[in-house]
């Protein structure tokens, strides 16, 4: 009888190239469980604790730290060591009250940046899709799996519907409410989340027209005056005039 469902195991040689592990040291690695981020843009919580935070030396120690509730992701205790941590997620070490944000960084793809406690209650999410639900209300589908409902008073003339796909929203992790909206347009700061320019922070100079929305060519200029190009699906808006989050040193 054929096996049903996907594999539960993952070999190290098959892991994404940006995972902070040695490929030939051992055979197996941790496969992330199903969650808010895809495997090609996420790191299992166990590797975050052991390799990126360095608060455990072995898998056993890391699993104990996680299972005892010492780690929070986006303000919630996560006890699943396979939980996928992705871009813009906020990591908190409960005992020390240290906070980190997972952001794209050059070459490494994903890194953790220390952030102040005040910023740890905020998160920027990209709008991947939007739909109309029962009652004419608008539902925003964000990059981290969240769905935010925008209630409209008049479905025939929804004045509250100011949101567009590929723009970003700043949400409160405590209440889930939208605090700010950053539309995708020329002049706004963005961070590259994929490709050879991953981790670079720049401003949009131009967006070319194309048949496929996600594959439109975007012209960017970093804060040193260097121009480069990428596609629309590889950028995330992080502010209106300047970045609204703490970034790695030298990024801006």
Do 150 and 135 meet the contact criterion of CB atoms below 8 Å apart?
A: no
- pLDDT value of position 2: 60
- Report pLDDT digits (tens) over 32-58: 999 999 998 999 999 999 999 999 999
- Residue 80's Cα: distance from chain center in Å? 19
What letters, b where the CB count within 10 A reaches 16 and e where it falls short, cover 64-100? Answer: ebbeeebbbbbeeebebbbbbbbbbbbbbbeeeeebb
Contacts of 249 by beta carbon, 8 Å cutoff, 6+ apart: none
The whole-model pTM stands at: 0.92
Provide the residue-wise pLDDT of the chain in tens; the chain has 252 residues: 566 677 888 999 999 999 999 899 899 999 999 999 999 899 999 999 999 999 999 999 999 999 999 999 999 999 999 999 999 999 999 999 999 999 999 988 999 999 999 999 999 999 999 999 998 899 999 999 999 999 998 888 888 889 999 999 999 999 999 999 999 999 999 999 999 999 999 999 999 987 677 788 999 999 889 999 999 999 999 999 899 999 988 776
- pLDDT value of position 9: 87
Cβ burial, residue 225 (10 Å; 0-12/13-18/19+) = exposed
- pLDDT value of position 89: 97
Name residue, tokens 């455990």.
56
DSSP state, residue 136 = S
- pLDDT value of position 3: 66
Give dist(CA 38, CA 146) in Å, integer.
Answer: 14
Name residue, tokens 């905020």.
122
Tell me the three state secondary structure of residue 39.
helix
- pLDDT value of position 1: 52
Cβ burial, residue 249 (10 Å; 0-12/13-18/19+) = exposed
The pLDDT > 90 percentage for the chain reads 78
């Amino acid at each position: 009888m054929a096996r049903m469902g996907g594999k539960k195991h993952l070999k190290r040689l098959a892991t994404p190239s940006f995972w902070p592990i040695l490929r030939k040291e051992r055979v197996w690695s941790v496969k992330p469980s199903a969650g808010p981020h895809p495997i090609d843009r996420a790191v299992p919580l166990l590797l975050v604790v052991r390799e990126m935070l360095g608060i455990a030396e072995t898998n056993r120690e890391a699993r104990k730290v996680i299972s005892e509730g010492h780690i929070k992701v986006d303000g919630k205790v996560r006890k699943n060591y396979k939980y996928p941590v992705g871009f813009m997620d906020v990591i908190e070490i409960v005992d020390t009250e240290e906070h980190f944000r997972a952001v794209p960084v050059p070459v490494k793809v994903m890194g953790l940046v220390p952030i102040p406690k005040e910023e740890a209650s905020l998160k920027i999410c990209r709008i991947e899709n939007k739909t109309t639900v029962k009652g004419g209300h608008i539902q925003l589908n964000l990059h981290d799996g969240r769905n935010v409902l925008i209630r409209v008073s008049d479905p025939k003339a929804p004045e509250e519907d100011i949101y567009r796909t590929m723009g970003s929203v700043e949400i409160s992790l405590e209440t889930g409410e939208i605090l700010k909206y950053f539309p995708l347009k020329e002049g706004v700061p963005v961070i590259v989340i994929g490709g050879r320019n991953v981790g670079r922070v720049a401003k949009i100079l131009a967006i070319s027209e194309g048949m496929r929305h996600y594959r439109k060519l975007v012209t960017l200029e970093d804060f040193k005056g260097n121009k480069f190009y990428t596609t629309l699906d590889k950028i995330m808006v992080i502010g209106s005039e300047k970045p609204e989050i703490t970034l790695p040193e030298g990024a801006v």
